[in-house]
Amino acid sequence: MNAQTFNAERLLQVIIAPQVSEKATYIAEKHNHVIFRVAQDATKSEIKAAIELIWKPQNIQVKSVQIANVKGKQKRFGRFIGRRSNWKKAYVSIQADQEINFSDIAQGEVK
């Protein structure tokens, strides 16, 4: 499947944000993976199409996508116990000679 089989507006809503942490940086350097927070109902094929659509000018080719559902933690607010929301993250593997540049994203220019 490619980006043309999905709705472009939906694909822009699939990727929420890149996950920036020490572990994500380590994985990016060692395995050439990029980690993203994605929508709870996103599928692997939607994530792949969204990445290739957003970074189309850089001609990014996605090799594979792995998904993990992260459970929200319990947190205390004074004497009350609350819960953070569950979320989904995607490990996106790109070609070895490619690199995603987050500063070149042109918002709203998808046709």
Query: In which element (H, E) is residue 68 found?
Result: strand 62-70
Give residue 96's pLDDT: 84
CATH number of 3-95, picked from 3.40.50.720, 3.30.70.330, 3.30.1180.20, 3.40.50.620: 3.30.70.330
User: Residue 42 pLDDT > 90, yes or no?
Assistant: yes
Task: Say if pTM beats, i.e. exceeds, 0.85.
Answer: no
User: Residue 33 pLDDT > 80, yes or no?
Assistant: yes
Helix, strand, coil share (%) of the chain residues, nearest 5: 35, 30, 35
Q: In which residue are the tokens 């094929």 written? A: 45
Q: In this structure, are residues 87 and 37 in contact, taking their beta carbons and an 8 Å threshold? A: yes
Residues 54-97 pLDDT 10s: 998 888 899 999 999 999 999 999 999 999 999 999 999 998 88
The b/e string for 67-83 (b: 16+ C-beta within 10 A; e otherwise) is eeeeeeeeeeeeeeeee
Q: In this structure, are residues 57 and 104 in contact, taking their beta carbons and an 8 Å threshold? A: yes
